[in-house]
Structure 1
């Protein structure tokens, strides 16, 4: 997914994780009429299980299937897991459709339940953007004060200007915003780093977790975002790259699960027991 030179370690990690066989979810649903406006769900057996909504990466271009093994892994850790699709760059999405869909997902699918919103890479960008929607102008269609209960951003893209400057994934940020001409005009509405400047916080409990040897997203993105987010918690995993955060049973994925439990415990979630299986209620 990168246009940058990477080490053999990073190339092997990427190949290993992205070549995992997709996992079929037990529940599927729709939140809109477009073919991309769908979701997969892994319902938890325990009625007290916390809800985790996962936003997939892929530089806003690729579909959610590469994240299904990780979603299934989190389900085995006791979470109620929802993995939505959304309209994507290079096709039906980009600005504004991708943001319309993600806003619709978090505004409707939790149905009043507390939840942790988590995303990997560009999905982390979208999760951080969701946390910052109260900072948008009040006349923005995306402005809301109904924010995620908490956010866990996994190796996220935090700075679209730097993403353009570094030409990550062959111009992915420029493609997302519809080209060079509208880039600067649209940036303040969809860039987490820009939205935080001046505000200092989104008011949403937020953890940024990344690997110390991530070669996909430059480490400066994490540092620069942490410098402006006054109450951000940052977790750095030594010896960990970009993709092992979503590799089932890898140490990075176990750290993700542990952090999700920490965040969800703040709103009273408990580890699942042997209760009767419940139906997923989006």
Structure 2
């Protein structure tokens, strides 16, 4: 999915400042948002990523970078709103197909926008495939980054009773998993007796079903590397420990801002299963379809939806 991002092109670099999707709107019907290539990363999506990367570099004022672990990529960028606090906090988790080739720069504008709206943000970097994120490294790294919020609260005015996760793409998978890991069994290598409690999850075109993603052409190589399973029994065990759809109910409200791609059916299936299990889950589909429109807070429609959902979840879903 991300191969084209890494290769780039002169045309895209020359046009990335105009790559923002025009007249973006939200709907509940994918019929209004036809995608000409639902399984591919289109040129306009790659251009949107480039633009977010550039905006990310310009969104670093007032950031405090703090290492939560010993790994070179085990740090987070803390942004605090103006005022005395204590502030609610969003743990922001970037995507990149679980690979080390993409970092937290492109989610910096999102983190800044939330902080400007009065929500402190912890935009985390973490171990990924290629940087120590092979099984079970990435899950342990993301969990350590989340639990480190308790350490941050000793020095900074953070309200530990009001913490949510906000994740994009594969980061949306981790954002959901962080809210689900209290359901893990004690014999799991990912088990933690006291994970940081969360108030909700904002998933921005995230992946809640790893088995469904592994069945797609672009997931057949990535997911086996992520989970490191060898036997059928091991596969089932790893899915049960890492795939949010296998850990429902999460016990917290969730909001999905997604788009019409080859993953939409599995996302909607997860939402329906979660609702049936008792979780309060809502969603919107962003149009025109663009994987990065869902994280693009330069677009008022997207920014307003993300900020409103974050505030609602921090207030108990109300």
Range class of TM-score, shorter chain: 0.7 to 0.9
In the TM superposition, residue 171 of structure 1 has moved relative to its aligned partner by 2.3
Alpha-carbon contact 2:135-2:228 (below 8 Å) kept: yes
Alpha-carbon contact 2:166-2:201 (below 8 Å) kept: yes
CA distance in structure 2 between the partners assigned to 1:207 and 1:43 by the alignment: 23
CA distance in structure 2 between the partners assigned to 1:209 and 1:162 by the alignment: 19
User: Paired residue for 1:106?
Assistant: 146
User: Paired residue for 1:40?
Assistant: 77
User: Paired residue for 2:97?
Assistant: 59
In the TM superposition, residue 167 of structure 1 has moved relative to its aligned partner by 2.7
CA distance in structure 2 between the partners assigned to 1:42 and 1:10 by the alignment: 27
CA distance in structure 2 between the partners assigned to 1:208 and 1:121 by the alignment: 11
CA distance in structure 2 between the partners assigned to 1:233 and 1:155 by the alignment: 14
User: Paired residue for 2:245?
Assistant: 193
**Which of 259, 266, 287 does residue 221 from structure 1 map onto?**
266
1:148 and 2:198 are equivalent in the alignment: yes
The structure with the largest helix share of the pair is 2
Alpha-carbon contact 2:92-2:166 (below 8 Å) kept: yes
User: Paired residue for 2:60?
Assistant: 24
In the TM superposition, residue 169 of structure 1 has moved relative to its aligned partner by 6.0
**Which of 237, 260, 264 does residue 310 from structure 2 map onto?**
260
Query: Once the two structures are superposed, what CA deviation does each residue of 1:254-277 show, in whole Å capped at 9, x if it has no partner?
Result: 211111111123399xxxxxxxxx
In the TM superposition, residue 73 of structure 1 has moved relative to its aligned partner by 2.1
Listed as ranges, the gaps of 5+ residues in structure 1 are: 269-282
User: Paired residue for 2:174?
Assistant: 126
**Alignment length, in residue pairs?**
261
User: Paired residue for 2:281?
Assistant: 233
Listed as ranges, the gaps of 5+ residues in structure 2 are: 4-38, 154-159
**Which of 208, 222, 239 does residue 172 from structure 1 map onto?**
222
CA distance in structure 2 between the partners assigned to 1:202 and 1:144 by the alignment: 16
CA distance in structure 2 between the partners assigned to 1:74 and 1:19 by the alignment: 18
Query: Once the two structures are superposed, what CA deviation does each residue of 1:211-233 show, in whole Å capped at 9, x if it has no partner?
Result: 3x3x3x62112112112102242
* Gap change, CA 1:12 and 1:27, over 3 Å in 2: closer
Instruction: State TM-score, norm by structure 2.
Output: 0.73
Describe the SS at the equivalent of 2:87: coil
Instruction: State TM-score, norm by structure 1.
Output: 0.82
The 10-residue stretch of structure 1 (152-161 or 231-240) with the greater mean CA deviation from structure 2? 231-240
Query: Once the two structures are superposed, what CA deviation does each residue of 1:59-109 show, in whole Å capped at 9, x if it has no partner?
Result: 111221221122122222222111111111122112111111111222231
Describe the SS at the equivalent of 1:258: helix
1:246 and 2:295 are equivalent in the alignment: yes
Describe the SS at the equivalent of 1:78: coil
1:5 and 2:54 are equivalent in the alignment: no
Query: Once the two structures are superposed, what CA deviation does each residue of 1:104-145 show, in whole Å capped at 9, x if it has no partner?
Result: 222231444421111111111011111111221122242446
* Gap change, CA 1:143 and 1:48, over 3 Å in 2: closer
CA distance in structure 2 between the partners assigned to 1:27 and 1:185 by the alignment: 38
User: Paired residue for 1:49?
Assistant: 87
